[in-house]
Amino acid sequence: MRLTLALVGVIAAAGPCANGPQLPGALGDAARSLNETREDAREVANASEKLKAVTGTAGDAVNRCDRLRTQDIALDEERTIGEAAAIQLAAANGGILIGRNVDDPANAPTIALNQLGTKLAALSERPHLAWTFSILDSDTVNAWSTPGGLVFVTRGLLKKVENEAQLAGVLAHEIAHVTGRHALNKYREVKVEQCRNYVAAGIAGKAASAVTSKLAASFGSDLGHLDFRGAEDVLANMGASVAAALQHEKFDPKQETQADYDAMSLLVLAGYQPAEYAKFLGMLPDTFQHDTHPPKQERIANVKSILNQFAKDPLRSPGAPYGPEQGYTADPISPALAAL
C-alpha cells in the first residue's frame, strides 16, 4: 500500500477527538488489528528464544534475517516506512497544522516552511527525494525527520527561532539525518526483529497463523526487500517501532557529529550564517531533544568546533561573497511562521 503525507494531513484536518488522533480508512483498520498481530507474535516468543540453537533450513533463514542489518534498502521501501513512521509521529505530537483545502490561509505557514526546506534540500546530497516539511501542533520544542525525506518541526520550536538562519539550521540538521540514512539503521533492526518473528512462527508450528501469513506477504521468499501490499498492519507496526525509536532512542554520536557538520555545510551553501545555529542551540532548554541527542552543551561545543574549522577555509565563509548581498546571513523568520 502506498502511503502519502496527504494521509497524515487527514489526521490533522479531522481535528481532535475524545479518544485522541484517529487513523483513517485502511490504516485505521490496520491499527485496530495490531493487537491481534502482537498477540500472535507473543505466542511465538518462546520459539524466538530457540532461534540461537536452530540449525538447517530454519537456521539459514535466521542468518539471512540477521544479514538484513547490512542490506541496502530500496528507495520505495525507505519512503514507505518513512511515511508510516510519520503517521505515528504526527498522531503522537498533536497532528499536522494544515488547512482543509489548498487555498486555506491556515496553510501559509506550511507553504513558507516548505519554501525554505526545499531550498536547503535541493543543495543536499539527495535532492531527488520527495521532500516534505510539516508543522506539528505541539507546544514542545522539537524536530524530527523520517526516512525518505519527511521533516517535522513543532509549533513550539517555531516560536523560539529568531530568524530564518536559525530555522534553516534546524531543518538542515534533520535533512542531514535523512541524507545520511541514519534512521534506516533503526529500521534495519526492526526488520531483523520482524523477520526473526516470521521464522520463529514457522518453528512454533504457526504456519497458518495471521502473523506468519502477514509477515510472509511482506518479506516474500527471499526475506529481503519488503512489499507491504496486503500487509498494512505489518507496515503500521513497523512504522510505530521506527517512530518510537526516533522519539526515544539516541543516534550514534558519530552520526550526530556528522549531521551537525553536514547541516552547517548546507547552511553555508545556502548563504546562511552557521553561527546562528549555534546561537539557537544555546537559547534552548537543556531538555531539548534530551532523549535522542547528546547533551546541549556537548552539541554547542561540537558546533563551535565546526565553526572554527570553517573559519580556516575561505570557501566556507558564510554569506554571499559578491554583489549587493555580500555578507548576507539571515532574514527575519517568515511572517506566516512568526504568526503561529
Q: What is the pLDDT of residues 61-116, one digit of tens each?
A: 667 777 778 888 889 889 989 999 999 999 999 999 987 777 788 899 999 999 99
Domain count, the chain: 1
Task: Please name which of 208, 286, 180, 193 lies closest in space to residue 242, comparing C-alpha atoms.
Answer: 193
Question: Are 89 and 243 spatial neighbours (Cβ–Cβ below 8 Å)?
Answer: yes
Supply the range of the domain harboring residue 329. Answer: 1-340
How far is the C-alpha of 160 from the C-alpha of 247, rounded, in Å? Answer: 20
β-sheet bridge partners, residue 150? 132, 146
- In terms of pLDDT, which residue wins out, 317 or 145? 145
- Residue type at position 91: A
Give the three cell numbers for residue 190.
Answer: 526492526
Cell of 5: 503525507
Q: What confidence category does residue 52 fall into, taking pLDDT thresholds of 50, 70 and 90?
A: very low
- pLDDT score of 105: 85
Separation CA 78–CA 231 (nearest Å):
16
Q: Give mean pLDDT, residues 187-191.
A: 85
CB distance 159 to 340 below 8 Å: yes
221 three-class SS:
coil
Whose CA is closest to 260, among 174, 166, 156? 174
Handedness of CA 38, 41, 45, 49 (dihedral sign): negative
- pLDDT 10s digits, 321-339: 444 444 455 577 787 888 7
Give the span between the Cα atoms of 188 and 276, in whole angstroms: 35
| CA gap 310, 318 in Å, rounded | 9
For residues 102 and 277, the model is more confident at 277
34 confidence band (pLDDT: 50, 70, 90):
very low
What's residue 217's pLDDT?
A: 55
**Alpha-carbon dihedral angle through residues 59, 66, 41, 234, given to the nearest 10 degrees:** -130
Residue given cell 481532535 in the structure block: 16
The predicted-structure confidence for 145-182, as pLDDT tens digits, reads as follows 999 999 999 999 999 999 999 999 999 999 999 999 99
H helix count then E strand count, the chain: 16, 3
Q: Is the dihedral of CA 88, 89, 92, 95 positive or negative?
A: negative
Query: Quick one: how far is CA 200 from the chain centroid?
Result: 29
Give yes or no for a contact between 272 and 333, defined as CB atoms under 8 angstroms apart. Answer: no
Q: What is the overall mean pLDDT for the chain?
A: 75
Spatial neighbors of 30 by CB under 8 A, at least 6 apart, are 23, 232, 233, 235, 236
Radius of gyration, CA atoms only, the chain: 22
136-159 burial: b if 16+ Cβ within 10 Å, else e: bbbeebbbbbbbbbbbbbbbbbbe
